Amino acid sequence: MTVVDTIKMTSLAKAAGCAAKLGAGDLSEVAFPLARLFNAQDHPDLLIGLEEPDDAAVYKLNDEQAIISTTDFFPPVVDHPYWFGAIAAANAMSDVFAMGGEVLMAINLVAFPASLEMDVLREILRGGAEKVRQGGGVLAGGHTIMDDEPKYGLAVTGIVHPDRIRQKGGAKPGDTIILTKPLGTGVITTALKNGKAHDDHVQTAMEIMATLNRDAAQVAQELDVNGMTDVTGYGITGHGHEMARLSNTNFHIHTANLQWMPGALEYAEQGIFPGGQGRNRAYYGRWVDFDEGVDDVMRNLVFDPQTSGGLLITIEAHKSNDLVAALHGRGIDAFVVGDVTEGDGRIVFS
Q: Quick one: 181 and 160 in the same domain?
A: no
pTM score above 0.75: yes
Distance CA 236, CA 234 (A): 7
pLDDT at 125: 97
pLDDT at 14: 72
Among residues 203, 169, 213, the alpha carbon closest in space to that of 51 is found at: 169
Q: Quick one: 8 and 151 in the same domain?
A: yes
Domain holding 258: CATH number?
3.90.650.10
Q: Quick one: 21 and 47 in the same domain?
A: yes
Tens of pLDDT, residues 113-170: 999 999 999 999 999 999 999 999 999 999 999 999 999 999 999 999 999 999 999 9
Tens of pLDDT, residues 295-328: 999 999 999 999 999 999 999 999 999 999 999 9
Domain holding 10: CATH number?
3.30.1330.10
- Mark which of 113, 134, 164 sits at the end of a domain: 164
- Mark which of 143, 164, 185 sits at the end of a domain: 164
Name the percent of the chain lying above pLDDT 70.
Answer: 91
- Mark which of 164, 184, 208 sits at the end of a domain: 164
| Given the residues 7, 9, 18, 246, the one annotated as active site | 18
Tens of pLDDT, residues 59-116: 999 999 999 999 999 999 999 999 999 999 999 999 999 999 999 999 999 999 999 9
Q: Which residues form the domain of 240?
A: 168-349
pLDDT of 19 over the 60 cut:
no
- Note if 59 is an active site residue: no
Q: How many domains does the chain have?
A: 2
pLDDT of 35 over the 60 cut:
no
CB hemisphere CA count around 236 (13 angstroms): 33
Distance CA 143, CA 156 (A): 13
pLDDT of 271 over the 90 cut:
yes
